[in-house]
Structure 1
Amino acid sequence: MRRRPVRLGMAEHDTAQGAAAFESLVSLLDYPMFIVTTRAGDQQAGCLVGFSSQTSINPPRFLVGLSRRNRTFAVAAEATHLAVHVLPREELPVARLFGGETGDDTDKFAQCTWHAGPEGLPILDAAESWFVGRITHRFDVGDHVGHLLEPVAGSAPDELRELISFSDVRDVDPGHDA
């Protein structure tokens, strides 16, 4: 379906049109989804994350957006590191667990297999690839807080299988509001 272009301008009504065009565009994109885990003291947490991206090649940096309403955000606020996991499509039940349940009510780690990794972070055994990053900066990015990561450890295969993307979890009711 072809959409008519929306011209962005400075007027207030153009701002609403710009927001509508933006929402239409991003609803068409099929972003990769990640599971982020963390630990602070004796608390561990994890959630499904769609707002993330590599931000720099040299030095290597990765940005993760965590919702302020998420238990993982609360634990991450006291943490020094995050683990970012890439899951193959056949591990969709794990993504649904971390996206559809809240750590306020459910011990997600009791329902999957994992092991302690670098910095004591929980590393999901279902992950085809993962890395641990030191949190270098936190900053407001709207209803989420950006966590800029400096990779310090990880594991990656030579090739990735088909990964879980937004279209695979679009129907998951989040464990909390955004």
Structure 2
Amino acid sequence: MPDDAFDQIMASVDAPLVVVTTVAEDERAGCLVGFHAQSSIGPERYCVWLSKANHTYRVALRSSHLAVHFLGADDLPMAERFGTQTGEEVDKFAGLDVSDSEYGVPLVDALPNRIVLERTALLDDGGDHVCLMTRVVDAQSAGSFTPLRVSDAAHLDPGHEADERAIEP
């Protein structure tokens, strides 16, 4: 396979970006995610892949629920906030209006298109991301929107590089 063939295909797909939030033992976390997908129609299921380098991954390992906030075309500042900083160093929620779901998951009020998920399984195949398989327990929508896509945020420098791995989860 040519070295850049896979990258070219994925760039053409241009996935929508989301912010994933979670909480465990009163420790909130959130990150920008490009790897996510609906995985079942009935029952409603959703998968999210989190980078092993991220603080959010380590918190999600200890949590039962998470929220996926779908970013609109005007939400680049939110993508920057959750994608270019690390939760080990900053509180990404500082200064934001945040509500808690009935499961305690932080919900960013400025991002009204979201689903709340209950983790049902976790798959780690040795790659740099781990798949959290979930069941949808709540969904909220403010109506149709144009998603913010990976290409819209390509200029952002991530808080962690893909090859960084957590020493201990």
Same fold (TM over 0.5): yes
Provide the residue aligned with 1:137 in structure 2: 121
Please say which of residues 89-98 and 63-72 is displaced more in the overlay.
89-98
CA shift, 1:128, in A, is 2.9
Does residue 155 in structure 1 map to residue 106 in structure 2? no
Provide the residue aligned with 2:10 in structure 1: 26
Runs of 4+ in 1 over 2 A off after TM superposition: none
In the TM superposition, 1:48-87 aligns within 5 A as 48-87=32-71
Give TM-score scaled by structure 2 length.
0.90
Give TM-score scaled by structure 1 length.
0.86
CA shift, 1:27, in A, is 2.1
Does residue 176 in structure 1 map to residue 163 in structure 2? no
Provide the residue aligned with 1:146 in structure 2: 131
Count of equivalent residues: 161
Give the number of the structure with larger relative contact order, counting CA–CA contacts within 8 Å between residues 6 or more apart.
Answer: 2
Q: Contact 1:88–1:128 at 8 Å: present in 2 too?
A: no
Output the CA distance in 2 between the equivalents of 1:176 and 1:168: 19
> 1 or 2, which has the higher helix percentage?
1
Output the CA distance in 2 between the equivalents of 1:24 and 1:88: 24
Q: Contact 1:94–1:126 at 8 Å: present in 2 too?
A: no
CA shift, 1:116, in A, is 1.1
Report percent identity of matched pairs: 40
Q: Contact 2:11–2:151 at 8 Å: present in 1 too?
A: no
RMSD after superposition: 1.3
CA shift, 1:161, in A, is 2.0
